[in-house]
Chains A and B, each alone.
Chain A
Amino acid sequence: GAGVSQSPSNKVTEKGKDVELRCDPISGHTALYWYRQRLGQGLEFLIYFQGNSAPDKSGLPSDRFSAERTGESVSTLTIQRTQQEDSAVYLCASSPGWGSYNEQFFGPGTRLTVL
């Protein structure tokens, strides 16, 4: 079946512009996660959704970052007034249910470059 998809695959933007990154989870997966991966680094947790509720937003690095999810479907991560330090690969994952014991299935990521 279809896996997690993300769009765009690459995004180049100028400093100060807003960007929207999209994630389509696996159908039926109730949990959705966003991570940031800087070059040569591990995955940095940003936020997760259970349904369309976000119980844990503490990983968002600043108030320029926000995310929303429509039902148990698509999610968008928005970065306002982008800065060069926002350059990274943004990964989305989904899992079938609640709790960390559920495998997280990752998308291919969106590579964001802020000039």
Chain B
Amino acid sequence: GENVEQHPSTLSVQEGDSAVIKCTYSDSASNYFPWYKQELGKGPQLIIDIRSNVGEKKDQRIAVTLNKTAKHFSLHITETQPEDSAVYFCAASKGNNRLAFGKGNQVVVIP
């Protein structure tokens, strides 16, 4: 099955700086790549997603880039704020209702 790896496992950034989280996937048939944010004690929440026919997508301070050849995709957060501190999960799917998640990345924004 699909194997999604996520790194680094923990990322600390100064408030205002950018944060980048990278994920790799194994199944070249995967065509949908969402990113979820999980705050302490809550369920994950979708923050942005990208389909395989697009190379980049932006939503305010958040962007996702996809490199299908290399089978990796990245989450970019610019002008980080303390409320961006959370665990971020990437996932991949072949459109079969089954998402394969990475292990998560703890982002800490230092005020």
Residues of A within 8 A of B (CB): 4, 31, 33, 35, 40-45, 48, 50, 55-56, 59, 91, 93, 98-101, 103-109
Number of interface residues of B (CB under 8 A): 27
**For residue A56, which residues in chain B have a CB less than 8 angstroms away from its CB?**
96-98
Of the candidates A31, A35, A55, A108, which one forms a contact with B41 in the assembled complex, judged by CB atoms under 8 Å apart?
A108
A108-B42 Cα distance, complex, nearest whole Å: 5
A42-B49 Cα distance, complex, nearest whole Å: 17
Known: A100-B32, A100-B93, A101-B32. A45 touches B99 (CB 8 A): yes
Chain B minimum-CB-distance residue to A101? B32
**For residue B99, which residues in chain A have a CB less than 8 angstroms away from its CB?**
43, 45, 100, 104
Known: A43-B89, A45-B99, A100-B99. A106 touches B32 (CB 8 A): no
A45-B89 Cα distance, complex, nearest whole Å: 14
CB distance from B109 to the nearest CB of A (A): 20
Q: Are A43 and B44 in contact (CB under 8 A)?
A: yes
CB distance from B87 to the nearest CB of A (A): 9
